[in-house]
Amino acid sequence: DKIGAKSENWLDAGKKTIKEIIKTYKLRDENIAKEFVLHLDKKLEKINLAKNQNAEKLWNTFKQHILDAARQTCGVSKINDDKKKTAWWNEDIKREIQIKKDKWQQYIKLKTTNKYDEYKQQRDIVKRMVLEAKRKSWEEFGCKL
């Protein structure tokens, strides 16, 4: 776990994955940064270096204290990441679909053949873009296998 990194926790109900992100951007605030240092100092005082701990155990303890102090002072944001993701979706397609929707609205308002032809042209552009993006996505998926 890194500060600001995502860590997965499982909920019992439905086994949904909830990601926790430490709000490290809050450390830019001077008061919160000072509070973080105070929390960390208190936690680090508890580390007993006299114990014959190996470097790995010492590092894990140190790391855990840093993360705990960050969680206490900055807080965490929980993200439910169960939404389906479409591998082929991108900003270009999104933009062209919005243009298509706008052209459809123009046609609905004016009901002219010219506006309908403009809509059909845009619809065909979007259809070609989506097909090409899906084809590329499948090729990339096949290469990963």
Distance, in Å, from the CA atom of 15 to the CA atom of 31, rounded to the nearest integer, reads 38
pLDDT-based confidence at residue 16 (cuts at 50, 70, 90): low
3-class DSSP assignment, residue 80: strand
Q: What percent of the chain is predicted at pLDDT more than 90?
A: 60
Over residues 105-136, the pLDDT tens digits come to 999 999 999 999 999 999 999 999 999 999 99
Over residues 48-84, the pLDDT tens digits come to 766 667 888 888 888 999 999 999 999 999 887 666 6
Question: Residue 69 in contact with residue 36, Cβ under 8 Å?
Answer: yes
pLDDT at site 46:
80
Closest to 73 in 3D by CA, of 102, 109, 104, 30: 30
pTM of the predicted model as reported, rounded to 2 decimal places: 0.46
Tokens 């979007």, located at residue: 126
